[in-house]
């Protein structure tokens, strides 16, 4: 409401140049509109995050600077209304409408996007994502945000133009260990879903900044160094068996190969936190296959075959087993160009 700032249910009808709204009495809309919003010269904001406890808002600002806040019943309904209203605003410009629909149905993240930059913006005290306490299944979590809140924030700050792009970007933030799932809903998705479905655009899925849950990072410099390592484009990832440096035992690790900068990191799949347990720069490394006849010097324990070796420029030797010769060849061919 404009006079009394309360929220009332209205029936909306979108025409080519205006948005009409009606009162509802007895479950039916009245025959004459209660008001209208002229769309000529309007600007639309969706999602609108001005009301922290109302995440499903659309904001319309008329050319006379009158603000209208409209709340929808679901994110899908909100985004559908926003697209149709935007189309009506640009009705006299068919090229813009065509581009709008292309933008909705296309997938193209910003070029040279910096995940570090996005996280810095997320942490901003005034314009960053709002951190709240959340309760899930009797557990209370501090400084968290929901999956849908992050998607809304990424769109409203122009890091993505659609929910699909925002979910993909949020998945990258999670894959690169900037954010992590907390609570049963988001953690289960992380464990049991495909990579494309591990981040949930859901108001019941909870996430937090990874550094808030990892007390091992003792300095800002160390954090920035890790962020730089993990900011490269993922070239290849998968499970391999790696020999330990001290005990010389063999353990399954998830390996992630990145370019620009070129790093190979490995993760412990038995741990909930999505943070590498080790890794190294590939610049100046040597990678080669090891023959299966006999166990090479420096290799101990249960060797199944399909071995390859990486020697870093600091002369540290990594012995790794693939599940097949074909997989070993794929990894070596992916690593070599980055050395």
DSSP labels, 202-253: -TT-EEEEHHHH-TT---HHHHHHHHHHTTSEEEEEEEEEEE-SSS--EEEE
pLDDT at 192 (0 to 100): 59
Q: Which fold has domain 115-209?
A: Arc Repressor Mutant, subunit A (1.10.10)
Q: Which fold has domain 10-105?
A: PH-domain like (2.30.29)
pLDDT band at residue 338 using 50, 70 and 90 as cut-offs: very high
- Residue range 56-71: average pLDDT? 90
pLDDT tens digit sequence for 4-15: 778 888 889 998
The domain limits of the chain are 10-105, 115-209, 227-336
pLDDT tens digit sequence for 168-226: 888 888 877 789 888 888 888 776 555 556 788 888 889 998 876 443 333 343 344 46
pLDDT of residue 69 exceeding 80, the answer is: yes
The per-residue pLDDT of the chain, averaged, comes to 79
pLDDT of residue 93 exceeding 60, the answer is: no
pLDDT at 168 (0 to 100): 82
Residues 309 and 288 sit within 8 Å (Cβ to Cβ): yes
pLDDT at 68 (0 to 100): 93
pLDDT at 218 (0 to 100): 38
pLDDT at 285 (0 to 100): 93
pTM (2 decimals)?
0.42
pLDDT band at residue 100 using 50, 70 and 90 as cut-offs: low
pLDDT band at residue 296 using 50, 70 and 90 as cut-offs: low
pLDDT of residue 305 exceeding 60, the answer is: yes
Question: In the CATH scheme, what architecture does the domain 227-336 have?
Answer: Roll (2.30)
pLDDT of residue 294 exceeding 70, the answer is: no
pLDDT band at residue 120 using 50, 70 and 90 as cut-offs: confident
245 class by beta-carbon count within 10 Å (0-12 exposed, 13-18 middle, 19+ buried):
exposed
pLDDT of residue 97 exceeding 80, the answer is: no
The tokens of 5 are what? 């700032």
- Residue range 119-147: average pLDDT? 83
Estimate to the nearest angstrom the gap between the alpha carbon of 148 and the chain centroid: 11
Given the structure tokens 């570090």, which residue do they identify?
116
pLDDT at 229 (0 to 100): 74
Residue 257, C-beta contacts closer than 8 angstroms, at least 6 positions apart: 234, 235, 236, 237, 263, 264, 331, 334, 335, 338
pLDDT at 113 (0 to 100): 63
pLDDT tens digit sequence for 249-283: 788 888 999 998 899 998 877 766 677 888 888 98
pLDDT at 225 (0 to 100): 42
pLDDT at 154 (0 to 100): 92
Cis peptide before 314 (omega within 30 of 0): no
Domains 10-105 and 227-336 share a fold: yes
Query: For residues 154 and 228, which has the higher predicted lDDT (pLDDT)?
Result: 154
Among 38-52, 254-268, 285-299, 300-314, which stretch is predicted with the lowest mean pLDDT?
A: 285-299
pLDDT of residue 105 exceeding 50, the answer is: no
pLDDT at 328 (0 to 100): 92
């Amino acid at each position: 409401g404009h006079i009394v700032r309360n929220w009332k249910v209205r029936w909306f009808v979108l025409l080519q140049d205006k948005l009409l709204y009606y009162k509802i009495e007895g479950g039916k809309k009245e025959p004459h509109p209660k008001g209208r919003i002229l769309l000529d010269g309007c600007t639309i904001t969706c999602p609108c995050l001005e009301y922290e406890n109302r995440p499903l808002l659309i904001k319309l600002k008329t050319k006379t600077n009158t603000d209208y806040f409209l709340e929808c019943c679901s994110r899908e309904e909100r985004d559908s209304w926003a697209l149709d209203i935007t189309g009506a605003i640009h009705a006299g410009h068919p090229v813009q409408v065509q581009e709008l629909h292309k933008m909705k149905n296309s997938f193209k993240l910003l070029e040279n996007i910096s995940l570090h930059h996005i996280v810095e913006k997320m942490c901003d005290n005034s314009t960053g994502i709002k951190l709240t306490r959340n309760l899930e299944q009797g557990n209370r979590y501090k400084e968290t945000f929901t999956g849908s809140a992050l998607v809304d924030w990424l769109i409203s700050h122009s890091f993505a133009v659609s929910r699909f792009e925002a979910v993909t970007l949020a998945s990258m933030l999670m894959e690169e260990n900037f954010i992590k799932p907390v609570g049963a809903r988001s953690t289960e998705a992380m464990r049991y879903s495909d990579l494309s479905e591990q981040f949930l655009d859901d108001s019941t899925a909870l996430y937090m900044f990874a550094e808030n849950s990892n007390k091992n990072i003792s300095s800002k410099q160390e954090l920035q160094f890790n962020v730089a390592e993990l900011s490269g484009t993922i070239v290849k990832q998968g499970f391999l068996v790696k020999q330990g440096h001290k005990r010389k035992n063999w353990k399954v690790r998830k390996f992630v190969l990145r370019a620009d900068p070129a790093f190979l990191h490995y993760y412990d799949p038995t741990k909930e936190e999505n943070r590498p347990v080790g890794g190294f720069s590939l610049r100046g490394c040597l990678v080669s296959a090891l023959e299966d006849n006999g166990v090479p010097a420096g290799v101990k324990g249960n060797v199944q075959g399909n071995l390859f070796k990486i020697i870093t420029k600091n002369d540290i030797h990594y012995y790794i087993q693939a599940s097949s010769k074909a997989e070993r060849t794929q990894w070596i061919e992916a690593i070599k160009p980055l050395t």
